[in-house]
Amino acid sequence: MSDRTPERLTVFKTYKLYVGGKFPRSESGRVYEVTDSKGNWLANAPLSSRKDARDAVVAARKAFGGWSGATAYNRGQVLYRVAEMLEGRREQFVREVAEAEGLSKAKAAAQVDAAVDRWVWYAGWTDKIAQVVGGGNPVAGPFFNLSSPEPTGVVAVLAPQKSSFLGLVSVLAPVIATGNTAVVIASERAPLPALSLGEVLATSDVPGGVVNVLSGRTAEIAAPLAAHQDVNAIDLAGADEALAKELEIAAADNLKRVLRPQPVDDWTATPGTDRMTAFLETKTVWHPTGSLGASGSSY
């Protein structure tokens, strides 16, 4: 009888979408091959369909009321929890980012560390952004006039194509920090870090439906989202010039807010508040002072 230990077979990971807090396969049953920077096979990723995109919008809309109604302080706690969970799975993401982007382990680790820090950065902004972009307004009359920011609603986010993780976090975190819900289209070439992020979000107190992650052909998924009547805004960070123009035209049919892609995005730079304010609406409340009564109005 041989004493040799049989060779162990590696358990390959099955990557799935993240929609409504669950992990479905694409309803089409399609997948596509994901390769590393040298063309070596890494995994099969779900090839999302238009139906998957519509399902993600339904989930995001259902989650919007609860998420936007949560206190800013609570949203900050949830985002910080995402950073905690990512820190615990750092080695996994370093490996995935290195394979996805053809980086050395040291450079991939720097990207992952920056992404974790970015979650912390936006977590700190959740209860401060209202003080920066809102406040009291001087008016000519016996009234209090107060402006306060409110989330736009459901935001479709095209993740950057070349920065599969840091770029993704940089466009996603500000959307949900301000109370919006998101439908994210992962980098078409390198979707695996985004799909793994869905697993982190599911265990980080982020309510199901607040973030929904799709993978596949960016143009195929983005087209129905840009035209969808229940999507309120779209971030075109991951679109090339031709696709961005096409999606802007489609978004104009229902007056979506559109954040155009920048010619050069340095995702390592310290972010400002622009990506938070891009998807905020301003609500202004008028309230009479003195003897005019206690009733107020808003628009």
Structure tokens at 185: 């289209």
Judge whether 167 and 109 are in contact, CB under 8 Å.
no
Q: What is the pLDDT of residues 160-214, one digit of tens each?
A: 999 999 999 999 999 999 999 999 999 999 999 999 999 999 999 999 999 999 9
Task: Give, to the nearest 10 degrees, the angle between helix 241-251 and helix 218-227.
Answer: 20
Q: What is the pLDDT of residues 243-278, one digit of tens each?
A: 999 999 999 988 899 999 887 678 988 888 999 999
> What residues have CB less than 8 Å from 150, skipping those under 6 apart?
68, 179, 280, 281, 282, 283
Question: Could you tell me which of 223, 291, 178 has the C-alpha nearest to residue 52?
Answer: 223
Question: Could you tell me which of 216, 214, 237, 218 has the C-alpha nearest to residue 167?
Answer: 237
What whole-number distance in Å separates Cα of residue 79 and Cα of residue 253? 33
pLDDT at 296 exceeding the cut of 70: no
What whole-number distance in Å separates Cα of residue 195 and Cα of residue 231? 22
Task: Categorize the per-residue pLDDT at 81 as very low, low, confident or very high, splitting at 50, 70 and 90.
Answer: very high
What's the CATH code, domain 31-298? 3.40.605.10
Domain definitions of the chain by residue range: 31-298
Question: Could you tell me which of 211, 169, 174, 168 has the C-alpha nearest to residue 189?
Answer: 168
Q: What is the pLDDT of residues 93-142, one digit of tens each?
A: 999 999 999 999 999 999 999 999 999 999 999 999 988 886 666 777 77
Mean pLDDT over 78-107 rounds to 96
Torsion 183-180-159-89 (CA) sign: negative
What whole-number distance in Å separates Cα of residue 203 and Cα of residue 78? 10
